[in-house]
Structure 1
Amino acid sequence: MFLYGYGPLLLAGAKQTIALAVLSLAVSVVLGLLGALAKLSRHAPLRIVATAYTTLIRSVPDLVLMLLLFYSIQIAVNNLTDAFGLEQFDIDPFTAGVLTLGFIYGAYFTETFRGAFLAVPRGQLEAGSAYGMSGMRVFGRILFPQMMRFALPGIGNNWQVLVKATALVSIIGLADIVKAAQDAGKGTFNMFLFILVAALAYLAITTVSNVVLMLLERRYSIGVRHAEL
């Protein structure tokens, strides 16, 4: 029998991994944009908070951060339920994984977006304001499209690392592709086969991601003249 009958379990794990990665990416992008704007803000408190966030997160290993954040959130929830006399409940591992990965990689996206914002010529933004555009219109029509062209290489790199980091959530009980492969390997005493299947699943995800990123880079490079070698 193909994969000893563990095919559906592995497929469910792969779907869980993809959903986790995509939702974590969404959280990371939102935090990254907010963090980049804070680091470029004129207000010192915002810059201090954003700098502390990126420095702390990028200095501590992802595995340690995941354990710290997961258990600290659970402890905080337990304290709240005890304080209000409510029934204790455990945090859903999927939600915890999304929020934790999103919070961690939001720091990396902050630096990616900050560099991309700085790469856009300031004069173009001033020209948009001079034409009577609102701040949101300047952002949407001038800043964001050009910023994305500069940010896409960093976004692609962060995404690839984030996808691989989803393997860490198996330690908090989430049934992702790694957990499914481990369970199948233990059940069949053929760990190598199922870990290889998990590796191929990650390879497939990153390969499709590369194609999407190439299309996005082509989209945001329209009208840009490339140097010829």
Structure 2
Amino acid sequence: MDTYLTLLSFGPTGWADEICLGILVTASLALATLPLGLAGGFLLALAKQSQDKALNLAAQIFTTVFRGLPELLTLFLVYFGLNNALRTLTSATGLPEIALSSFVSGMLALGLVFAAFASEVLLSAFRAIPVGQTEGARALGLRPSRIMLLVVLPQLVRIALPGLGNLWMNLLKDTALVSAIGLADTLRQAGIAARVSREPFLFFGVAIVAYLALTMLSSLVIDRIDRRVNRGELAR
């Protein structure tokens, strides 16, 4: 028991510092990816409703590709493929070499996947909003931007929140994949500690607790947001 407490302590003899840093990296990566994925999903959902056939087709192809590829393969495509393309471009133009870090690569790759799935959730939410509401807003003389801000978005958030909440949970779990490209997240730090200490059950157990804690905290936050956006519905 004393050995376990020593291994889980802070300082040079324990691994608590590294594990906490890994948890911080995991949470930071997920939070940095979320707005990127939401913005991409929103734009894709708008494109899928566009009358422009080329724009609609491009959005459909994007969604099909990134929903179909394994997340790990998407991560490798961004980390190795995009970095190689950047090196080739900078070498050809004589510019200083540009390289994406593991964190940025993970954020971009997971953001692409999140956007592809979120676009389907948001598209369904768009279609669930009665057309008469936007037509009535136009009849009142509201500009398209005001209609989107005052009429569509509040309902869009309420309808899409359960689906987006599930995607957020998947995003939290998918952050573990970035350990494959060297980012010192929760899983990688736990793996290093397990190999060095030869206590895999202990440190992977700590990683399990960390991920469960993050998902439980996320569930509480999502539930709070859900109650807030549905307070008008509940009052009725």
Give how far 1:87 is off. 4.6
Equivalent residue in structure 2 for 1:155, among 164, 179, 186:
164
Aligned residues: 227
State the AA in 1 paired with 2:152: L
Q: Given that residues 25 and 185 in structure 2 are in contact (C-alpha distance below 8 angstroms), is that contact kept between their aligned partners in structure 1?
A: yes
Q: With structure 1 as the length reference, what TM-score do the two structures score? A: 0.95
Is 1:221–2:230 an aligned residue pair? yes
1:24 paired residue number: 33
> Is this contact kept in 1: 2:75–2:105, CA < 8 A?
no
Divergent runs of 4+, >3 A: 86-90
In structure 1, the gaps of 5 or more residues are none
AA aligned to 1:61 is P
- Equivalent runs, 1:97-136 vs 2, <5 Å: 97-136=106-145
Give distance in 1, aligned partners of 2:204 and 2:96: 39
Gaps of 5+ in 2: 1-5
Q: Does 1:180 align with 2:208?
A: no
Scaled by the length of structure 2, the TM-score of the pair is 0.92
Structure 2: how far apart are the matches of 1:95 and 1:64?
16
Given candidates 13, 23, 33, the residue that maps to 2:22 is 13
1:89 Cα deviation (Å)?
4.8
Alignment counterpart, residue 63 of structure 1, candidates 64, 67, 72: 72
CA offset digits 1:50-81 (Å, max 9, x no partner): 00011111111111121122211111111012
- Residue 46 of structure 1 deviates from its aligned partner by 0.9
Map of 1:199 onto structure 2? 208
- Looking at structure 1, the residues matched to 232 and 194 of structure 2 have their Cα atoms a distance apart, in angstroms, of 51
Q: Secondary structure at the match of 1:223?
A: helix
Give the equivalent residue in structure 1 for 2:154: 145
Higher relative contact order (CA 8 A, sep 6+): 1
- Whether the aligned pair in 1 keeps the contact of 2:37 and 2:111 (CA below 8 Å) is yes
Report the Cα distance in structure 1 between the residues aligned to 2:168 and 2:62, rounded to whole angstroms.
Answer: 19
CA separation in 1, counterparts of 2:54 and 2:94?
A: 37
Cα separation, 2, equivalents of 1:83 and 1:98: 27
Q: Deviations over 1:110-148 (max 9, x none)?
A: 001100111011101111111111111111111011111
- What's the counterpart of residue 76 of structure 1? 85
Question: Secondary structure at the residue paired with 1:55?
Answer: helix
Q: Tell me by how many angstroms 1:225 deviates.
A: 5.0
- 1:50 is aligned, of 59, 66, 85, to 59
Q: How many angstroms apart in 1 are the aligned matches of 2:87 and 2:217?
A: 41
Give the stretch that moved more between structures: 39-48 or 82-91: 82-91
